[in-house]
Homo-oligomer: A and B are copies of this chain.
Amino acid sequence: MPLAPGKANIPLLAEVSKAELEPLILASVLLSLITVYLAAKLGGELCARINLPPVLGELVGGVLVGVSALHLIVFPEGAASESESLLIKLVELTAGLNPSAALAVFQGESEVISVLAELGVIILLFEIGLESDLKELIRVGPQAAVVAIIGVVAPFSAGTAGLIALFNVPTVPAVFAGAALTATSIGITAKVLAELQKLSSEEGQIIIGAAVLDDVLGIIVLAVVASLAKTGEIEIANVIYLVVGAAVFLVGAIFVGRLLSPFFVTLVDHLKTRGQVIVSSLVFAFLLAYIAATIQLEAILGAFAAGLILAETSKRKELEEQISPISDILVPVFFVSVGARTDISVLNPMDPSNRAGLIIASFLVIVAIIGKIVTGYAIIGQPGINRLAVGIGMIPRGEVGLVFAGVGSASGVLSESLEAAIIVMVILTTFLAPPFLRLIFSDDPSQASGEPALDKSDSVESSPEASS
């Protein structure tokens, strides 16, 4: 459909106003995707050259085009109005978008990019599941559970107690900030591990298992503190519902999925039209993601479970090859969006209003890092593993941490400085963990205490490391 030109407006289909905007929303989405890909590649390539994980570059590229700097990719919750989106201004200039229609086009474009980002992290977790080994994951399950539980308890208790004792923060906001310290961004950690080719290592599988459990724990913690902030009480029934639901879903999906997967393979083998493997697999993944979403879990958990199940079928290799380009074009939308939504102006110490927040933030960052690093040392009976790597893998809070900050902000329990401190903690843990993780994994553990290994070659082997 041609774009509605400025002066010779052509009405399309029955509902004119809506249909007229369609081509303009499409044009804005095209421009957004171009921006996202350029930002992702620019950042990713720079990071790859200075020996940092490319995903960090995608996050930084997102910051560059987002609400903190260029204002090309902004979302309604971050921008006061459509006039703050430079991209929409560009569409107004080049495609004859009428300023009166700009708000509707901005909302439509943001909606589509948000959903593409969500689909991106769903595809990413599906791919991570596909590259994981269910048997190995079950084998390291007890270790992963220890890591996940200590990684929730340690930062939560230290953070809450510290805020009350050192900063005289009232109990409810202190509990909230402590809860925000418990999250782990499975997306960022998994992506870095995949880039380092460490997903299938023992440390990698412990981190993935713990991050998945942490995701479930995070949802429960969030529900608890949100109801605490709202009513002052904890709804026990809701917590039990969430715990039981998560357990039944994860165990049930994998159990039933493994039973049914031979039928799935037979069905796929009988299909004759193009794309039978990838389309059938995505129907399965989207279905589990939908079910996970409906029982108040996260959609990505369903996608991960689907990947795990299909990894055990004979279609694994073919599927890995076909999901790869889809992941290449959707996953950057997610990481660039996370970066674009992050307002780094709270990090500026020149702004006096930031200082109170920054002091609390320093405390939170220290607790956030130490509280996760100790988890690796809590693992019992695995003499050969790199304990520091496991702990560092759990550090990034990423988008999950931003959700905590958002919920706290919306419920009104957080003071401005405490909210800023949480955001600073999320930014620093998210951006610092990838380079540390790369450093610790490219380091030979036998020399880890002595010399840094910054000059290691680019291709990190996934061979198991023996500690001295």
Interface of A toward B, CB cutoff 8 Å: 1-3, 5, 8, 10-16, 18-19, 22-23, 25-27, 29-31, 33-34, 37-38, 40-41, 44-45, 48-49, 54, 76-78, 94-96, 108, 111-112, 114-115, 118-119, 122, 195, 219, 222-223, 226-227, 235, 238, 271-276, 278-280, 282-283, 286-287, 289-290, 293-294, 296-299, 322-329, 332, 402-403, 406-407, 409-411, 458
A54 and B222 CA atoms in complex are apart in Å by: 47
| Contact call A12/B403, Cβ cutoff below 8 A | yes
Q: Enumerate 14 A-B pairs (CB-CB under 8 Å) in ascending A order.
A: A2-B297, A11-B407, A13-B403, A13-B406, A22-B114, A26-B299, A29-B119, A30-B290, A31-B286, A33-B282, A34-B290, A45-B273, A48-B272, A274-B324
A49 and B272 CA atoms in complex are apart in Å by: 8
Interchain nearest-CB distance for A86 vs B (Å): 15
| Contact call B37/A283, Cβ cutoff below 8 A | yes
| Contact call B8/A238, Cβ cutoff below 8 A | yes
| Contact call A27/B326, Cβ cutoff below 8 A | no
- 8 Å CB contact of A275 from B10, B11, B328: B328
Residue in B closest to A10 when the chains form the complex, CB atoms: B226
Residue in B closest to A23 when the chains form the complex, CB atoms: B293
A33 and B411 CA atoms in complex are apart in Å by: 34
- Which residues of chain B are near A115, meaning CB under 8 Å? 25-26, 29, 108, 112
Interchain nearest-CB distance for A8 vs B (Å): 6
Most chain B CB inside 10 Å of its own CB: which residue of A78, A282, A402: A282
| Contact call B294/A10, Cβ cutoff below 8 A | no
- Which residues of chain B are near A118, meaning CB under 8 Å? 22, 26
Interchain nearest-CB distance for A200 vs B (Å): 17
| Contact call B296/A2, Cβ cutoff below 8 A | yes
| Contact call A41/B329, Cβ cutoff below 8 A | no
Q: Which 5 A-B pairs have the closest CB atoms?
A: A275-B328, A13-B406, A11-B410, A322-B325, A44-B273
Main secondary structure of the interface of A (DSSP, over half): helix
A114 and B290 CA atoms in complex are apart in Å by: 20
| Contact call B235/A8, Cβ cutoff below 8 A | yes
A426 and B394 CA atoms in complex are apart in Å by: 57
- 8 Å CB contact of A111 from B8, B112, B409: B112
- Which residues of chain B are near A407, meaning CB under 8 Å? 10-13
- Given A2-B223, A30-B290, 5 additional A-B pairs, CB 8 A: A8-B235, A14-B77, A25-B111, A29-B119, A325-B326
Residue in B closest to A8 when the chains form the complex, CB atoms: B238
A290 and B27 CA atoms in complex are apart in Å by: 6
Most chain B CB inside 10 Å of its own CB: which residue of A27, A40, A48, A219: A27
Interchain nearest-CB distance for A278 vs B (Å): 5
- Which residues of chain B are near A274, meaning CB under 8 Å? 54, 195, 324, 328
| Contact call B323/A326, Cβ cutoff below 8 A | no
- Which residues of chain B are near A114, meaning CB under 8 Å? 22
- Which residues of chain B are near A48, meaning CB under 8 Å? 272-273
- 8 Å CB contact of A18 from B22, B76, B289, B296: B76
| Contact call A275/B38, Cβ cutoff below 8 A | no
Interchain nearest-CB distance for A205 vs B (Å): 21
| Contact call B112/A275, Cβ cutoff below 8 A | no
- 8 Å CB contact of A14 from B222, B271, B272, B410: B410
A402 and B95 CA atoms in complex are apart in Å by: 23
| Contact call B77/A10, Cβ cutoff below 8 A | no
- Which residues of chain B are near A34, meaning CB under 8 Å? 283, 286-287, 290
A285 and B221 CA atoms in complex are apart in Å by: 45
A122 and B29 CA atoms in complex are apart in Å by: 12
- 8 Å CB contact of A279 from B2, B12, B37, B111: B37
